[in-house]
Amino acid sequence: MARTASLSGFPEWLPEERLVEQHVLDTLRRVFELHGFASIETRSVETVGQLLRKGEIDKEVYGLSRLQDDEGGTPDRGGKADQHALALHFDLTVPFARYVVENAGYLAFPFRRYQIQKVWRGERPQEGRAREFTQADIDVVGDGELPFRYDVEIALVIAEALSALPIPDFQLRVNNRKLAEGFYRGIGLTDTAGVLRSIDKLEKIGPAKVAELLKSELGATDEQAQKALQLAGIRTGDLSFVAQVRALGVSNDLLEEGLNELEQVIDAAVQRAPGKVLADLSIARGLDYYTGTVVETVLVGHEQLGSICSGGRYDALASKGNRKFPGVGLSIGVTRLVSRILSQDLAKASRSVPTAVLVALANDDNWGAAQDVAAQLRSRGIPTEVAAKAEKFGKQIKFADRRGIPFVWFTDDDGTHQVKDIRSGKQVVAAPETWMPPAADLVVQVATAGAVPAQVS
Amino acid sequence: MARTASLSGFPEWLPEERLVEQHVLDTLRRVFELHGFASIETRSVETVGQLLRKGEIDKEVYGLSRLQDDEGGTPDRGGKADQHALALHFDLTVPFARYVVENAGYLAFPFRRYQIQKVWRGERPQEGRAREFTQADIDVVGDGELPFRYDVEIALVIAEALSALPIPDFQLRVNNRKLAEGFYRGIGLTDTAGVLRSIDKLEKIGPAKVAELLKSELGATDEQAQKALQLAGIRTGDLSFVAQVRALGVSNDLLEEGLNELEQVIDAAVQRAPGKVLADLSIARGLDYYTGTVVETVLVGHEQLGSICSGGRYDALASKGNRKFPGVGLSIGVTRLVSRILSQDLAKASRSVPTAVLVALANDDNWGAAQDVAAQLRSRGIPTEVAAKAEKFGKQIKFADRRGIPFVWFTDDDGTHQVKDIRSGKQVVAAPETWMPPAADLVVQVATAGAVPAQVS
């Protein structure tokens, strides 16, 4: 990872790095599909009007304009004023909401989908923050109503998916907006959005400054500020957070509802994903319009990387007239994870190409016969290349070696086939119809440092 | 396919349509990897300077500008003048060339890669021509030189890949620029690019008008124009094109070289991909900077759709100082193919979700036990959902039925498990540790009209 991107904020991987990324993507897809999530993709562009639908956004959006426009004008140009101008999506939630509304007549609700695509944000690039990056989202969306159970399920699916990746230990930190807002109301703070905005800064500016903010901007008393901070200080890996909240002596119906919801999530997680999910009452999720469960996720020991998976519950992910589509979902920052895996050598591909066997050429006329051997190997799932020229065998072996191709196939003039493991030098007589490499050599393995290699699907 | 895209030129698929697209993408990936092609992705944006590097381009490019730029200006805005401005790539060849130059020190040459990504062109949308679409490219690139054999191999790999797709019969139509240019020189026409440009219009305007063009624009004589048209009229599925060209009585070294190259491609194809590859001496490939083999591909019976796979040989795909990187590659228009498959019902997914089994709930307290059953099924690769609410069994069966989920799992109060095939109504006692659905129901199948279903990987 000595290389830096030639365009800041737009990372690109070498083939052996891309294999690690593919392993991550394939693993996520496999887990999502095992849980019945259907794949969709949405177009990369939305209208500016759609992107700004929820009002204020804090994302930097890239607008589009056609270069070769004859009038020299910019009909597609993303001016703030032009709601019909096109721009690249900055997340997968806004496009998904639009997709649900447009296709509501064709979808079966509750609709569960996964979506793995690139998104773009014109922000200042830094580690963990790219301008083009891949997100992997799962959401369940209902028509009119959506049982709370999906909040529990989504958290468990994500815990399972992240557990299958070659990454360090992680923690899903879960809170509930109803719990927080009910609590703030219970202590007499009515601008709950304002309180959340301040609490969101806790990690950045510390409790003393948050208390100041609460008092100066929201008119909180000393006691109110302290109570809000006490709530935000609660973090438990079990159900003890319930008693800790109750001990603060605040009573409010919304608080009770949120407490009950969060209890359901943590209760299931303690059993089904032990150690992976915490109740963390400091989680606020800034400007986003969540209405219940909220989640952020950190890699243990890599907390400064920021959240690698975030999301939560929207009472109205989308709406169409009076019809509301509540949703709950989480979004994994794939590029953020892959960048960290690569920069810290957390996992490695066993070779830089899919090829398991190189069929060598004894002379240039044998290319057709070599292709026959290759076709037989491929027909049994063995990735195979044929040498393009009958160079010296040493050179052909070097060709394989440079790419990490483990086996080179030779055919003698008398038609005898032999295959050489170029790592050990061991060479055996083999038949193209039956020979198989060991399973660990058949396809590229992505191995975690110190763990059992995982197979790339 | 009654739906039309909500934004013209930006197609989006329903979940059951996306399954067809995924099947196409998975199939291409599998074939490419079996042939040892490594995956890479490049960033979606290039600088305008990079996109215009080859001089004139006939593609409509989308430039980018940051909407929330504080100065109200457009620093990233794609003006023609600003070479550093950012724009979306319009193909995968230009970005690949840049990638090769930037990473030449890290790659093993000849380097073979596949690249499956979206590209964007701001053209007028029509069937087969979208503004955002997916291409699947394979290329082999050499350092300094690249044996011609790769031209042969690339054509065979593509023929194998297309044969594995749920599409009608196809024809790769292959020509060779050396053959054509040598021939034109041999008959005394020196503006070979000009002749190619005219010949490229053959299908659109017919031979009489092409002859007029050749005479009026390039000063060709009647006889020269007729010879050029005679050459373009040659199309054979075997090696007889060689004799037909020779019969035109033109002699030129470059012509001989091209004739020999094309003969190698067709000779291998006759043996290894019979009926799939033609020598078609009308293929010109317009403005693109090919230097040898050129390929276009049509779906038989869908010729008006245009080429579904095109490409060829560049003597200098990229260069770095004096160092040249010759390449040969082909690009499949995935979105064009998938649009046609869907609009003409050429293939269909067996259900709209990955789920094979819905675990029903007898009462709401059983959710945990149902999750245990689901986890056991998933651990053996069976995609499984759990009902979110203990609704009437009829309603839970309807939930499965609407999605095409073939099996519903019931657990009685005494712990007996039963699984019902909701298509036949047949219900059997089953154990979550051992029960397997038939292979055809395990994962979604994509079936071609009248063909054996193919398994989605």
Q: Which residue of B has its CA nearest to A388?
A: B149
Annotated binding site of A: 91-93, 121, 135, 139, 285, 289-290
Shortest Cα distance, chain A CAs vs residue B450, angstroms? 24
With beta carbons less than 8 A apart as the criterion, state whether B273 and B169 touch: no
Within 10 angstroms of residue B431's Cβ, the number of other Cβ atoms is 10
Which residue among B132, B149, B388 sits closest to A150, beta carbon to beta carbon? B388
Shortest Cα distance, chain A CAs vs residue B221, angstroms? 37
Q: Does B177 belong to an annotated binding site?
A: no
Instruction: Please name the residues between 105 and 164 in chain A that touch chain B, using a CB distance below 8 Å.
Output: 106-108, 110, 112-113, 118, 120, 122, 132, 147, 149-150, 153, 156
Say yes or no for a CB contact (<8 Å) between B76 and A107.
no
CA distance B144 to B110: 10
Which residue among B36, B67, B99 sits closest to A12, beta carbon to beta carbon? B99
Shortest Cα distance, chain A CAs vs residue B382, angstroms? 6
Say yes or no for a CB contact (<8 Å) between B45 and A10.
yes
- List, for residues B340-382, the tens digit of each pLDDT value: 999 999 999 999 999 999 999 999 999 999 999 999 999 999 9
Cis peptide leading into residue A95 (ω within 30°): no
Amino acid occupying residue A64: L
Q: Does residue A15 sit at the B interface (CB-CB below 8 Å)?
A: yes
From the list A117, A163, A120, the residue with the least C-alpha distance to A25 is A117
Phi, psi at residue A365, to the nearest 5°? Answer: -75, -15
CA distance B453 to B451: 6
**What is the predicted pLDDT for the residue at A289?**
82
Say yes or no for a CB contact (<8 Å) between B48 and A68.
no
Q: Which residues of chain A have pLDDT under 70?
A: 1-2, 54-58, 68-81, 128, 287, 450-457
Q: Does B82 belong to an annotated binding site?
A: no
H or E, element range at B200? none
User: Is A296 buried (19+), middle (13-18) or exposed (0-12) by CB count in 10 A?
Assistant: buried
Shortest Cα distance, chain B CAs vs residue A227, angstroms? 35
Shortest Cα distance, chain A CAs vs residue B454, angstroms? 16
Mutate which: A3, A8, A20, A43, vs B, most B CBs within 10 A:
A43
Instruction: Please name the residues between 181 and 210 in chain A that touch chain B, using a CB distance below 8 Å.
Output: none
Mutate which: B3, B18, B25, B43, vs A, most A CBs within 10 A:
B43
Residues 6+ apart with CB under 8 A from B185: B192, B252, B254, B255
Strands B235-236 and B170-176: unpaired
Which residue among B48, B368, B457 sits closest to A67, beta carbon to beta carbon? B48
Shortest Cα distance, chain B CAs vs residue A129, angstroms? 15
Q: Kindly report the CA angle at B189 between B184 and B191, in degrees rounded to 5?
A: 100
Strands lying side by side in the sheet with A132-141: A38-39, A111-120, A132-141, A323-333, A309-320, A293-299, A170-176, A277-280, A235-236
Phi, psi at residue A157, to the nearest 5°? Answer: -60, -45
Annotated binding site of A for L-histidine: 91-93, 121, 135, 139, 285, 289-290
Cis peptide leading into residue A110 (ω within 30°): yes
Q: Which residue of B has its CA nearest to A68?
A: B60
Which residue among B22, B60, B64 sits closest to A68, beta carbon to beta carbon? B60
With beta carbons less than 8 A apart as the criterion, state whether B142 and B326 touch: yes
Report chain B's terminal Cα–Cα distance, integer Å.
Answer: 25
With beta carbons less than 8 A apart as the criterion, state whether B310 and B334 touch: no
Tens place of pLDDT for every residue, chain B, 457 residues? 447 788 999 999 999 999 999 999 999 999 999 999 999 999 999 999 888 876 556 678 999 988 865 444 444 444 444 778 999 999 999 999 999 999 999 999 999 999 999 999 988 877 768 999 999 999 999 999 999 999 999 999 999 999 999 999 999 999 999 999 999 999 999 999 999 999 999 989 999 999 999 999 999 999 999 999 999 999 999 999 999 999 999 999 999 999 999 999 999 999 999 999 999 999 988 767 899 999 999 999 999 999 999 999 999 888 888 999 999 999 999 999 999 999 999 999 999 999 999 999 999 999 999 999 999 999 999 999 999 999 999 999 999 999 999 999 999 989 999 999 999 999 999 999 999 999 999 999 998 875 545 555 4
**What is the predicted pLDDT for the residue at B58?**
63
Q: Which residue of B has its CA nearest to A391?
A: B147
CA distance B142 to B107: 10
Residues 6+ apart with CB under 8 A from B38: A15, A18, A19, A352, A353, A354, B111, B112, B113, B114
CA distance A405 to A339: 25
Which residue among B14, B367, B403 sits closest to A149, beta carbon to beta carbon? B367
CA distance A155 to A297: 11
Q: Which two tokens stand for residue A13?
A: 């991987």
Q: Does residue A6 sit at the B interface (CB-CB below 8 Å)?
A: yes
Say yes or no for a CB contact (<8 Å) between B62 and A80.
no
Which residue among B40, B45, B68 sits closest to A60, beta carbon to beta carbon? B68
Mutate which: A13, A68, A357, vs B, most B CBs within 10 A:
A68
**What is the predicted pLDDT for the residue at B273?**
97
Say yes or no for a CB contact (<8 Å) between A118 and B65.
no
Q: Which residue of B has its CA nearest to A149?
A: B388
Say yes or no for a CB contact (<8 Å) between A35 and B132.
no
**What is the predicted pLDDT for the residue at A57?**
63
Shortest Cα distance, chain A CAs vs residue B340, angstroms? 18
**What is the predicted pLDDT for the residue at B54?**
65
- List, for residues B147-170, the tens digit of each pLDDT value: 999 999 999 999 999 999 999 999
From the list B174, B35, B172, the residue with the least C-alpha distance to B113 is B35
Instruction: Please name the residues between 268 and 297 in chain B that touch chain A, using a CB distance below 8 Å.
Output: 268, 271-272
**What is the predicted pLDDT for the residue at A50?**
87
CA distance B427 to B397: 13
Q: Does residue A378 sit at the B interface (CB-CB below 8 Å)?
A: yes
Say yes or no for a CB contact (<8 Å) between B35 and A147.
no
**What is the predicted pLDDT for the residue at B78?**
42
Q: Does B19 belong to an annotated binding site?
A: no
Local structure of B75: helix, strand or coil? coil
Instruction: Please name the residues between 328 and 357 in chain A that touch chain B, using a CB distance below 8 Å.
Output: 352-355
**What is the predicted pLDDT for the residue at A68?**
67
Amino acid occupying residue B375: A
With beta carbons less than 8 A apart as the criterion, state whether A348 and A402 touch: no
Domains of chain A: 15-46+91-348 (3.30.930.10), 47-88 (no CATH), 357-444 (3.40.50.800)
Place of tokens 């394989």: A400
Mutate which: B25, B57, B62, vs A, most A CBs within 10 A:
B62
Q: What is the CA radius of gyration of chain A?
A: 27
H or E, element range at A408? strand A407-411
With beta carbons less than 8 A apart as the criterion, state whether B45 and B120 touch: no
**What is the predicted pLDDT for the residue at B389?**
94
CA distance B378 to A306: 31
Mutate which: B65, B82, B143, B364, vs A, most A CBs within 10 A:
B65
Q: Does residue A417 sit at the B interface (CB-CB below 8 Å)?
A: no
> How many contacts (CB atoms, under 8 Å) link A and B?
221
Shortest Cα distance, chain A CAs vs residue B143, angstroms? 14
CA distance A21 to A334: 8
